[in-house]
Amino acid sequence: MCGIAGAFDVERAFFVLHDLLLHLQHRGQESVGIVMDNFTSIKGHGLVKEVLTEKSFIEGHTGIGHVRYSTVGGPEEIQPLVGYTGKGKLAIAHNGTIPDASHRRETFLERGAVFSTTVDSELFLHYVSIAPFEDSLESVLWALQTVPAAYSLLVLNEDFMIGARDPYGYRPLFWGKYDGGYVLASEDSALVVLGASDITEVERGQVIILEKGKSPKIQKLSVDRPGRFCVFEYIYFARPDSNLGGINVHKARFEMGRWLYKEHKIQADIVIPVLDSGLSGALGFSSESGIPMDFGLMRNRYMGRTFIMPTDRKSSVRKKLIPIPEVVKGKDVVLIDDSIVRGSTMGVIVSMLREAGARKVIVGIHSPPVKYPCFYGIDTATRRELIASDHTVEEIRETIGADELFYLSIEGLIKAVGREDVCLACLNGHYDTWVPEVDSGV
Amino acid sequence: MCGIAGAFDVERAFFVLHDLLLHLQHRGQESVGIVMDNFTSIKGHGLVKEVLTEKSFIEGHTGIGHVRYSTVGGPEEIQPLVGYTGKGKLAIAHNGTIPDASHRRETFLERGAVFSTTVDSELFLHYVSIAPFEDSLESVLWALQTVPAAYSLLVLNEDFMIGARDPYGYRPLFWGKYDGGYVLASEDSALVVLGASDITEVERGQVIILEKGKSPKIQKLSVDRPGRFCVFEYIYFARPDSNLGGINVHKARFEMGRWLYKEHKIQADIVIPVLDSGLSGALGFSSESGIPMDFGLMRNRYMGRTFIMPTDRKSSVRKKLIPIPEVVKGKDVVLIDDSIVRGSTMGVIVSMLREAGARKVIVGIHSPPVKYPCFYGIDTATRRELIASDHTVEEIRETIGADELFYLSIEGLIKAVGREDVCLACLNGHYDTWVPEVDSGV
Amino acid sequence: MCGIAGAFDVERAFFVLHDLLLHLQHRGQESVGIVMDNFTSIKGHGLVKEVLTEKSFIEGHTGIGHVRYSTVGGPEEIQPLVGYTGKGKLAIAHNGTIPDASHRRETFLERGAVFSTTVDSELFLHYVSIAPFEDSLESVLWALQTVPAAYSLLVLNEDFMIGARDPYGYRPLFWGKYDGGYVLASEDSALVVLGASDITEVERGQVIILEKGKSPKIQKLSVDRPGRFCVFEYIYFARPDSNLGGINVHKARFEMGRWLYKEHKIQADIVIPVLDSGLSGALGFSSESGIPMDFGLMRNRYMGRTFIMPTDRKSSVRKKLIPIPEVVKGKDVVLIDDSIVRGSTMGVIVSMLREAGARKVIVGIHSPPVKYPCFYGIDTATRRELIASDHTVEEIRETIGADELFYLSIEGLIKAVGREDVCLACLNGHYDTWVPEVDSGV
Amino acid sequence: MCGIAGAFDVERAFFVLHDLLLHLQHRGQESVGIVMDNFTSIKGHGLVKEVLTEKSFIEGHTGIGHVRYSTVGGPEEIQPLVGYTGKGKLAIAHNGTIPDASHRRETFLERGAVFSTTVDSELFLHYVSIAPFEDSLESVLWALQTVPAAYSLLVLNEDFMIGARDPYGYRPLFWGKYDGGYVLASEDSALVVLGASDITEVERGQVIILEKGKSPKIQKLSVDRPGRFCVFEYIYFARPDSNLGGINVHKARFEMGRWLYKEHKIQADIVIPVLDSGLSGALGFSSESGIPMDFGLMRNRYMGRTFIMPTDRKSSVRKKLIPIPEVVKGKDVVLIDDSIVRGSTMGVIVSMLREAGARKVIVGIHSPPVKYPCFYGIDTATRRELIASDHTVEEIRETIGADELFYLSIEGLIKAVGREDVCLACLNGHYDTWVPEVDSGV
């Protein structure tokens, strides 16, 4: 769960990268980094606006950046990673995960390498350093061939910037023209808001090569694999105004809401979206069902930790969402959200609606239950705690205290998205690469 | 535009006041203060969560607090104000404005008084000090009689806490039981979320007297005046889950949306709410008109200042709201919001929708144009910049670049709220007290 | 224990006041404030360099400032104090203490005044407000007559700045020309370092009146009193390069060291100064006695709190001073310092020297024992803890663990300073004004 | 210019390392780091007290730490460095410089290694990783043999801690017993102040091996070299209470002052030390010459940047030192300091004394001119700016504006220190190892 951005040959690239990363902030809030082509850099834990301030401005026309969801360890683990290799100094920004990273790392250590981080992405630097070429560009391409998945990757040195997607296309990547140069970002919406033109999706297996004073070159990795774009980008990860594979994310969620009702013809008085994650789906559900939507849960403009916490009120949900008793009192409500992770948040929301007087609380989720770990870029540490991995829908319903609970089917999801070349591994357990043995649930 | 809170005889009053002020944060974001009954205090510019941290915890069972929208001057101007009077040390937290404050202040200065702030609220301390009574409680009541409007006020000393609303009832105030003691707050929702019981609206002209070791006393000010509750609390100021005068705020806004359509039977393809302020009204408008609502503007979860700013893109609106071209392309849209202040924000939103491909942008406002300054607690400095004070609706439409613009009428507003004892001075220029001459627009 | 500074009609007065207060930082380290003649201000707890940063720069040509040793209460208690009086807005910066402040305050409260601080200095504002004159300048002069001691005071409004010393002259004050205007400061050295010219001591009972567009006026208060300059300014309070009453402070301390030996003809191997406070005195003692000085205690360049603290090592002295065993091993040492306050610091130093191998540790103090509280500006809260107020010299010697302990006599002190019009109240208990009854020790 | 510290098997090693590094703070003020044996770490730019706060406490009984004078690059360059090698994870703290580091690094890069920093110390990690042993301890010893100079080094992993000095003994290192375990530090004084016992100097070429649950082992590197302890540790780098090679640093400086007079029998009225660096030497000079010492320059207790800066007053020296005109007026003064780096500081001091009225300003330096770069641990970047590298003594005298200038000879220095096995490379250009060609001055 990361976002990556690149700026090539533009004025004040720091500001451009700042803006792109700001628009990708939803992809990662724990750490931010920028490295310029002279390898000056800014890195820090926290949000883009906290780390990349005007005071931390660094000069330069070309650079890459990274936001990350969960960063273990000290500041040295924050991307972009920088290394001095036999082919020169190099910086990389990586979105995705290498499933067999630990085996690959072991091999390097046996031959006397020194790793400076625990991050799987550091492997790319070592592959470049041992690549059987003098030329650094050749070496990078060789490294990309050597690691089949999962990556959307930016590589930078003093001479060139490379943007690449693995042959499966697990993670998104876009590029466009800007200010006489080029910009790259995980989502097209970041490029749109910046004001870039000729915005194009980097295809799976494609490598964009930007060299100073030359036209961009586009190359294709020789390895071929089936398309496996992460379906969770549509469900909850990407911004609603992004268009991934030509499909608008808000629209896709609206359709998921519609297909959810088509599969579950529920009776209720009102549809209530969980703000903001369930908004698009709830609208689709209401539109298809004819059940009116109302805002039984409003968003609190000013959040903050409260100190007074009666039993069971510990969830931050209670500060984020305000129930409106006048809306829900005595009604059968259908609550719509995009997914259930651990179930605790949904449990609190259901309680809040009951306390506010709802007669019946029915929960509809516009995606299928997530049962298997992801090895391609969604934080597995979190996934291990997934309630659906070892509970039935009925057990989950009991846990969250709902009167009814229903999910969208995998088939419904594919119809709603309108695309079949997606990765469904976390939903059905079918992995397309070697993956570590999972301790439970499979 | 302030929020006030009191905690009387409860465990760790600091935490209780913190939570109440957090729930009142929407009433003021520029400064926060807490004073305990031993007069230890915490004050600062910024949000509740920035000023009232766990580190700044102060001991005590009784205290009052204040959040303020606009605080001029140094930290000494932050409420609650504290003074050493002839009747002892006293702290006050004031929501409202005294229209004839400058005349009253002049009189005091002529007799040798020293003021330490420019805040009108300081007058209460001076009235107490000169009150013709030995007793401090008597002196406070005398001071309340002497200043007819506008105030919801909390007064604190070592022996008692007083909560009072002026005889017109311009500003809201509620009280309830909590943890064996009592709590007061500007809005009932803050008391509800805290978990207080027996929540009651303090009536206009009513004074709640809480003395240590005694039962609460309720007194009525001898001065009688007509009811004049601020109608803007319903339109945009109060939280949607508050119930003021027994009327739910979200429901009132929903009704304003419904009455807006009843008065303006517009043709359009979709209704788009301005998130979050126009959400309730848009729902009412959509419900009454049958025109479907869609989210053509989504909220950006992670805001921050962008550095790259093409012409006319300076507004922070562009970071807060994300237009979804797929939703608005080729459509006639009705955009619903609660009010227009200067018009610049709405102008940017209209531009954004046009850029996203809307065919026609119609703007509906679910309140009447604000034409006159408020002297009872809404920041007049801001009001002077009100676009409606010296522009016709047609001129405003041109300014914001909409195809059509329509407002709710005053009559429609009253019907929607369902209450006639409201102050409409900013809408119709009828003031119930002496007010300074206004330089223009009247 | 405060320092005051004024800048009248100079370029960028903020920077001038910053520099003056920086040079007066030794007179107070707990709070700093600056108020300009348009009453914009900066105040804060901490050092000059922490509060008056380039970021906090405020415009203006005229302003006053204050540093304070011990500031009780919130930021509103930080000087310069500002008040809105019947004679206009006024700011004051006060060095000194009013011994009968509480009686005077009571009288004001009885007639309905409101005080905003607990600081005695606020009384000046109230006297100005009730002064029987229309004119603000007349009113200030009347207030100065009404309060006989102890003050060096700066008063500022939009039209004038006043610098005044009380008729006893307890506290120092200097003025000079600078940059076409005037500057005032508690010590001449601050003005010297700034680069001011025509530096002159304000005489006791003198009032310097600086009005915009006019030449300075010098007036004499009609009340006459004997000269009582605080002798502790020479002993330890003022900077060594200051010249108070024409006497250099370093030289005065050197002379105190010489007179100390004249009174106590001690045998020892080396003289060790306590760095930096005893440096001047130790040199005088060594010079008069012929006993060589050596640095048995060096100063630690980088201090900081240590976490490992064996018994009795809690004192910060152990981080500040480094004993050099090679210097003191097997020697009889005379340790010289300016004064003993509580005795705990000296006790630790004596222990350190013994641990470092000193055979005999003799302590010489180049001032007399402080036995009585000061009501004229030296922090009495601290003085109450004075070890000499209720212990004999022999008892103190035992407490600090020295082999011998001797002090300079009052007569020796006067000879060393070369001036008789000094206040000795804290040494001999003779107060020249009404003072509160002291609970013990008198 | 660094300080290193280790704590092995003690309670709360963080606090022990904090205290040791605090006592070594004079060896480096730009960055601080601590790594524990479980590889949790704290690193940051700034002082020990800023980086190692109570809040940043980390658990553990064993760890190493580092303070550094000049740290280029981002936080990843801060020592101790940590790497994942083929022999496991390792942390190192290094004081010294490897003169041929760039050649050695090139060799590694050619075989596919990746470096993560520009720090020469990282080489140790790579040597360990390629060492022809399975065992990590053996591998570390092999790496130590492979790099002959200059280092005092601490190596840490989960099983052991190693402390080593190179065969020349360029940099100091001490160890002792503490709290049932062991502590190591660059200077003995840090161990003394901590309260360690059995404090012993690690000999050149010696390796101390501390393994969990075993007695310490002491090994000797097989490579033998002549002793070359850095003479600048005595001149200005080490703390005055340290004893290096059994010689007290304060005493050594006192002797340098004595020998300076023996070589230059100057006539003058007073000796003035530059506080605090020239204090010990000035005392020696005064003692040998009989010319009395006086404090014509006092130290300013409260420094800070001043804003008002007349021509030539930009030096921070003017805030640090206060001239006392009463002391120097009309006198011939000998100013004593330990060394001259660029000459600018001394130039300002000479000006200050002239402005204060000195008749003649003679400057005596108690060390020889530094003419050649250091490749063994003193920051060469700074040394390149050394005034003595390309100016005669007469030219330097003119630059600083003194009436006379004299230095101690190399012979005098050796006599004063009383030790011949010292490195004099920066004074005479004789290097004992391969060094890079110097661009000028040799």
- The answer to which of A345-349, B316-320, C414-418 has the lowest mean pLDDT is B316-320
- The size of the C-D interface in CB pairs under 8 A is 129
Here the tokens at position B227 are: 């009811």
Question: Taking 90 as the threshold, does the pLDDT of residue A70 lie above it?
Answer: no
A265 burial (CB, 10 Å; 0-12 / 13-18 / 19+) is exposed
The dotted CATH code for C243-428 is: 3.40.50.2020
Neighbours of D265 (CB within 10 A): 8
When pLDDT is averaged across residues B263-288 and rounded to a whole number, the result is 95
By DSSP bridging, strand B360-365 and strand B332-337 are parallel
Q: Distance, in angstroms, between A106 CA and closest chain B CA?
A: 39
Question: Across the interface, which of D76, D109, D125 has its CB nearest the CB of A76?
Answer: D76
Q: How confident is the model over C319-341, as pLDDT tens digits?
A: 788 899 999 999 999 999 999 98
Residue A229 near residue A172, CB atoms below 8 Å? yes
Alpha-carbon span D250 to D281, nearest angstrom? 8
Which residues of chain B are within 8 Å of residue C117 when distances are taken between CB atoms? 116
Residue of C nearest to B127 (CA): C112
Q: Between 2.60.40.10, 3.60.20.10, 3.40.50.880, 3.30.710.10, what CATH number should domain B2-227 receive?
A: 3.60.20.10
When pLDDT is averaged across residues A381-388 and rounded to a whole number, the result is 70
| Core vs surface per residue B2-17: b (16+ CB within 10 A) or e | bbbbbbbbbebbbbbb
Distances (CA, A) of A259 to A236, A287, A339, A427: 16, 11, 15, 17
The dotted CATH code for D249-428 is: 3.40.50.2020
3-class secondary-structure state, position C154: strand
Residue of B nearest to C109 (CA): B86
Here the tokens at position C441 are: 């020790």
Question: Taking 60 as the threshold, does the pLDDT of residue D161 lie above it?
Answer: yes
Residue D296 near residue D325, CB atoms below 8 Å? no
Instruction: Assign A314 a pLDDT band (cuts: 50, 70, 90).
Output: low
| Core vs surface per residue B382-402: b (16+ CB within 10 A) or e | ebeebbbbebeeeebbebbbb
Beta bridge partners of D298: D322
Asked whether the beta carbons of residue D295 and residue C301 sit closer than 8 angstroms, the reply is no
- The answer to which of B419-428, C320-329, D88-97 has the lowest mean pLDDT is C320-329
H helices of D75-197, in order, are 101-110, 122-130, 136-146, 188-194
Residue B258 near residue B285, CB atoms below 8 Å? yes
Alpha-carbon span D372 to D395, nearest angstrom? 17
C150 burial (CB, 10 Å; 0-12 / 13-18 / 19+) is buried
Distances (CA, A) of B87 to B128, C108, C115, D288: 7, 12, 12, 74
Instruction: Assign A384 a pLDDT band (cuts: 50, 70, 90).
Output: low
Asked whether the beta carbons of residue B306 and residue A22 sit closer than 8 angstroms, the reply is yes
Angle at C104 between CA C98 and CA C107, to 5 degrees: 170
Give the per-residue pLDDT at A221: 94
When the pLDDT of each residue in chain A is averaged and rounded to a whole number, the result is 92
Which residues of chain D are within 8 Å of residue C279 when distances are taken between CB atoms? 295, 298
Q: Which chains touch A (3 or more CB pairs under 8 A)?
A: B, D
Question: Across the interface, which of B43, B75, B109 has its CB nearest the CB of C84?
Answer: B109
Distances (CA, A) of A315 to A358, A360, B240, D46: 20, 22, 21, 38
Query: Which positions of D are annotated as active-site residues?
Result: 2
Touch between chain A and chain C: 3 or more Cβ pairs under 8 Å: no
Q: In what order do the strands lie in the sheet with D63-68?
A: D41-45, D31-36, D63-68, D2-8, D181-185, D174-178, D197-201
When pLDDT is averaged across residues D209-218 and rounded to a whole number, the result is 96
3-class secondary-structure state, position A251: helix
Kindly give, in sequence order, each residue whose CB lies less than 8 Å from that of residue A68, ignoring residues fewer than 6 positions away.
Answer: A1, A2, A28, A30, A31, A32, A78, A79
Question: Taking 70 as the threshold, does the pLDDT of residue D403 lie above it?
Answer: yes
Neighbours of D438 (CB within 10 A): 15
H helices of B290-370, in order, are 317-320, 325-328, 344-355
Asked whether the beta carbons of residue C15 and residue D194 sit closer than 8 angstroms, the reply is no
Beta bridge partners of D405: D363
Determine the topology of domain A249-302+309-428 in CATH: Rossmann fold (3.40.50)
Here the tokens at position D270 are: 């007073």
* Preceding omega of C132 cis (within 30 degrees of 0): no
Asked whether the beta carbons of residue C41 and residue B74 sit closer than 8 angstroms, the reply is yes
Give the per-residue pLDDT at D319: 74
When the pLDDT of each residue in chain D is averaged and rounded to a whole number, the result is 92
Mean pLDDT by 10 residues, chain C (442 residues): 96 96 93 95 92 92 92 75 96 95 94 94 96 96 94 97 97 97 97 94 98 95 93 94 96 97 97 92 96 91 65 65 92 96 89 95 97 82 74 95 98 97 94 77 40
Asked whether the beta carbons of residue D43 and residue A74 sit closer than 8 angstroms, the reply is yes
The sign one gets for the Cα dihedral B28, B34, B35, B41 is: negative
Question: Taking 50 as the threshold, does the pLDDT of residue B441 lie above it?
Answer: no
What phi-psi label fits residue A94: left (phi over 0), alpha (psi between -120 and 50 degrees) or beta? beta
Alpha-carbon span D177 to D172, nearest angstrom? 18
Question: Across the interface, which of B15, B26, B326 has its CB nearest the CB of A250?
Answer: B326
Question: Quick one: DSSP state of residue D387?
Answer: G
Q: Distance, in angstroms, between C428 CA and closest chain B CA?
A: 36
Q: How confident is the model over B211-230, as pLDDT tens digits?
A: 999 999 999 998 889 999 99
Biggest distance spanned by C-alpha atoms of chain B = 74
Residue of B nearest to A280 (CA): B295
Q: Which residue has the tokens 């003074």?
A: B83
Query: Which positions of B are annotated as active-site residues?
Result: 2
Q: Distance, in angstroms, between C78 CA and closest chain B CA?
A: 10
Which residues of chain A are within 8 Å of residue D45 when distances are taken between CB atoms? none
Q: Which chains touch D (3 or more CB pairs under 8 A)?
A: A, C
Here the tokens at position D188 are: 């003995």
Question: Taking 60 as the threshold, does the pLDDT of residue A71 lie above it?
Answer: no
Question: Across the interface, which of B195, B248, B304 has its CB nearest the CB of A49?
Answer: B304
Neighbours of D66 (CB within 10 A): 32
Give the per-residue pLDDT at C319: 74
Tell me which residue of A279, A278, A276, A283 sits closest to A300, measured CA to CA: A276
Here the tokens at position B289 are: 């008109």
Residue of D nearest to A119 (CA): D84
| CA C13 distance to own-chain centroid | 24
Alpha-carbon span D46 to D69, nearest angstrom? 10
Give the per-residue pLDDT at A442: 37
What phi-psi label fits residue D82: left (phi over 0), alpha (psi between -120 and 50 degrees) or beta? beta
Residue of D nearest to C15 (CA): D307
Instruction: Assign D33 a pLDDT band (cuts: 50, 70, 90).
Output: very high
Asked whether the beta carbons of residue C112 and residue B114 sit closer than 8 angstroms, the reply is no
When the pLDDT of each residue in chain B is averaged and rounded to a whole number, the result is 92
H helices of D167-248, in order, are 188-194, 232
By DSSP bridging, strand A174-178 and strand A160-165 are unpaired
Asked whether the beta carbons of residue D109 and residue A84 sit closer than 8 angstroms, the reply is yes
| Long-range Cβ contacts of C46-54 (<8 Å, 24+ apart) | C47/D302, C47/D304, C48/C18, C48/C21, C48/C22, C48/D302, C48/D304, C49/C22, C49/D303, C49/D304, C49/D305, C52/C14, C52/C17, C52/C18, C52/C21, C54/D307
Which residues of chain A are within 8 Å of residue B295 when distances are taken between CB atoms? 240, 250, 279-280, 283
Q: Distance, in angstroms, between D190 CA and closest chain C CA?
A: 11
What DSSP line would sit under A140-191, residue for residue? HHHHHHH--SS-EEEEE-SSEEEEEE-TT--S--EEEEETTEEEEESSHHHH
Asked whether the beta carbons of residue B304 and residue A47 sit closer than 8 angstroms, the reply is yes
Residue B212 near residue B181, CB atoms below 8 Å? no
Here the tokens at position C366 are: 């180049």
**ipTM metric:** 0.86
Q: Distance, in angstroms, between C231 CA and closest chain B CA?
A: 36
CATH 3.30.70.2740 is right for the domain spanning B248-419:
no
When pLDDT is averaged across residues D294-300 and rounded to a whole number, the result is 90
Question: Across the interface, which of B43, B116, B125 has its CB nearest the CB of C83?
Answer: B116
What kind and span of H or E run contains D327? helix D325-328
When pLDDT is averaged across residues D21-45 and rounded to a whole number, the result is 94
When pLDDT is averaged across residues D44-55 and rounded to a whole number, the result is 91
Instruction: Assign A311 a pLDDT band (cuts: 50, 70, 90).
Output: very low
Here the tokens at position D324 are: 């006392």
Question: Taking 60 as the threshold, does the pLDDT of residue B312 lie above it?
Answer: no
Distances (CA, A) of D363 to D136, D282, D288, D331: 54, 11, 16, 14
Question: Quick one: DSSP state of residue B267?
Answer: -
Give the per-residue pLDDT at C364: 98
**Dihedrals phi, psi of C135, to nearest 5 degrees:** -75, 135
Residue B415 near residue B355, CB atoms below 8 Å? no
Tell me which residue of A149, A175, A141 sits closest to A230, measured CA to CA: A149
The domain ranges of chain A are 2-227, 249-302+309-428
Question: Taking 70 as the threshold, does the pLDDT of residue D73 lie above it?
Answer: no
Q: Which residue has the tokens 């000059």?
A: C48
Give the per-residue pLDDT at B442: 37
Asked whether the beta carbons of residue B15 and residue A307 sit closer than 8 angstroms, the reply is yes
Residue D261 near residue D288, CB atoms below 8 Å? yes
Q: pTM of this prediction?
A: 0.82
| Core vs surface per residue C413-423: b (16+ CB within 10 A) or e | bebbbebeebb
The one-letter amino acid at B262: K
Question: Taking 90 as the threshold, does the pLDDT of residue A438 lie above it?
Answer: no
Determine the topology of domain C2-226 in CATH: Glutamine Phosphoribosylpyrophosphate, subunit 1, domain 1 (3.60.20)
Give the per-residue pLDDT at D253: 97
Residues in C lying within 8 Å of B, measured between beta carbons: 41, 43, 74-76, 82-86, 109-118, 122, 125-126, 129-130
